[in-house]
Amino acid sequence: MSSGCVELRYFLSSATLIIALCVLGCADNSREREIEISCIELAQQFTRALTSRNYDRAFSMVATTQREKLTVDHLKEGFERIIPQDWGDTEPIEADLLPGGKSAYQPGDVAIIYVSIYGDVYSEAVVISFVLEDDVPMVGDVEFGRP
């Protein structure tokens, strides 16, 4: 076999490996982005449950591993500390990934979402971290109030 054929085989093998790695990397990024989008949607649902004072519904979105810490009473007390009963309209509610990338992530976090809650006089926020439970995003922790 000539050296040209060996070089061509080496090149094709290397190119195949690079393409395979790119496809796998894109698939991982695609799944990661899919999870982030799901977390943003879930953060909006969770916050709307809080703003409608449906704390049981919000609690149903909490990961089972966190339910001793994030009880219904904890959710109610934390939320009503920043958004009192006489707050008024809480729309719009806007959610997006926490700025600053993954530097604030704790082990197990798949996304941290910053949710703005607008009011007539000022706005407030909740920061929600998400974990996977049986491959489904669930609320892992909540920080009430603007950072």
Which is more confident, 101 or 7? 101
- CA contacts within 13 A on the Cβ side of 134: 3
Nearest to 83 by CA among 48, 42, 57, 111: 48
Range of the domain at 88: 3-144
Convert the pLDDT of each residue in 34-93 to its tens digit: 999 999 999 999 999 999 999 999 999 999 999 999 999 999 999 999 998 888 888 889
Residue 10, pLDDT above cutoff 70: no
**At a CB cut-off of 8 Å and minimum separation 6, what does 59 contact?**
67, 70, 71, 72, 75
Sheet holding 124-133, edge to edge: 93-97, 109-117, 124-133, 136-144
Residue 3's H or E segment, with its range, is helix 3-51
Convert the pLDDT of each residue in 87-142 to its tens digit: 888 888 999 998 877 778 888 899 999 999 998 888 999 999 999 999 999 999 99
Residue at 50: amino acid letter: L
Q: What angle do CA 21, 27, 29 make, to 5 degrees?
A: 100
pTM recorded for the entire structure? 0.78
CA distance 66 to 64: 5
Residue 22, pLDDT above cutoff 70: no
Domain count, the chain: 1
**CATH classification at residue 23:** 3.10.450
CA distance 119 to 36: 26
Identify the band that residue 19 occupies on the pLDDT scale cut at 50, 70 and 90.
very low
Q: Residue 95: what pLDDT?
A: 93
Strand, coil or helix: what is 102? helix
